[in-house]
Amino acid sequence: EAGVAQSPRYKIIEKRQSVAFWCNPISGHATLYWYQQILGQGPKLLIQFQNNGVVDDSQLPKDRFSAERLKGVDSTLKIQPAKLEDSAVYLCASSLVRPGGYTFGSGTRLTVV
Amino acid sequence: TQLLEQSPQFLSIQEGENLTVYCNSSSVFSSLQWYRQEPGEGPVLLVTVVTGGEVKKLKRLTFQFGDARKDSSLHITAAQPGDTGLYLCAGLHQGAQKLVFGQGTRLTINP
């Protein structure tokens, strides 16, 4: 089966600019997650969707981050305006409703300068 | 607050040696997963353990879930350079649907 697709793979922006990331999960996976992985750390959950509804966004910095999952399939994560500390890899993952395991995309490496 | 503590954070050993990586928590998990992540890629699931005391083997890798379901270990026998990577444990709390990750163990196997 096709994996989780993410784009772009790399992005370099200046602070205060905006950026958007895209994710296409595995077909049939109802649950979609966005994780932030700062260099040297484990992934931290930003937001979790089940179909097109938000299940958990408690760790999403809502003053600058937003995410949507229209039609319960693809998802976009946006940062506006970006800060230097947003430099990280942004990972998208998907799973069945009762996960036996997540399937991760390759991530988008964001560098804010 | 880091709910899952992994140790060691860094480990560099020679090819052929054995090693153990630990994942500890004060919380009880309904299941625990181990992932391996290579540079420029997302984590890839290695195993899921569910029952306290459970042991699973994947070739030269042995995974154990603690009896109390609060900790886990990964043992690699006769490590090879291809085992190099970031090993992440992740726990799922009872009734929850999100995984909480440890900070990872960066393993380097030198030829």
Q: Comparing C-alpha atoms, which of A74, A93, A77, A78 is closest to residue A32?
A: A93
Tell me whether strands B55-58 and B61-65 are parallel, antiparallel or unpaired: antiparallel
pLDDT digits (tens, 9 = 90+) for A11-61: 999 999 999 999 999 998 989 999 999 998 899 999 999 988 999 999 999
- Residue B1's pLDDT is what? 46
Mean pLDDT, range B40-53, rounded to an integer: 93
The whole-angstrom separation of Cα A79 and Cα A62 is 9
Q: Which position has the token pair 């709390």?
A: B93
Burial class of residue B97, CB neighbours in 10 A (0-12, 13-18, 19+): middle
pLDDT band at B95 (very low <50, low <70, confident <90, very high): confident
CB neighbourhood size of B78 (10 A)? 10
Please tell me the least confidently modeled range out of A87-101, B38-52, B75-89.
A87-101
Cβ–Cβ below 8 Å for B101 and A50: no
Structure tokens, A22: 């895209």
User: How many residue contacts between A and B have a Cβ separation below 8 Å?
Assistant: 58
CB neighbourhood size of A29 (10 A)? 18
Structure tokens, A20: 């958007």
Work out the mean pLDDT of chain A and round it to a whole number. 93
Q: Which of A42, A101, A102 lies closest to B104 in CB terms?
A: A42
Whether residue B1 lies within 8 A of chain A, CB to CB, comes out as: no
Contacting residues of A for B98, CB less than 8 Å apart: 33, 45, 48, 55-56
Torsion on CA atoms A35, A27, A77, A39, rounded to nearest 10: 30
Identity of the residue numbered B103: Q
pLDDT at A2 over 80: no
Cβ–Cβ below 8 Å for A91 and B101: no
Whether residue B62 lies within 8 A of chain A, CB to CB, comes out as: no
DSSP 8-state assignment for residue A102 = -
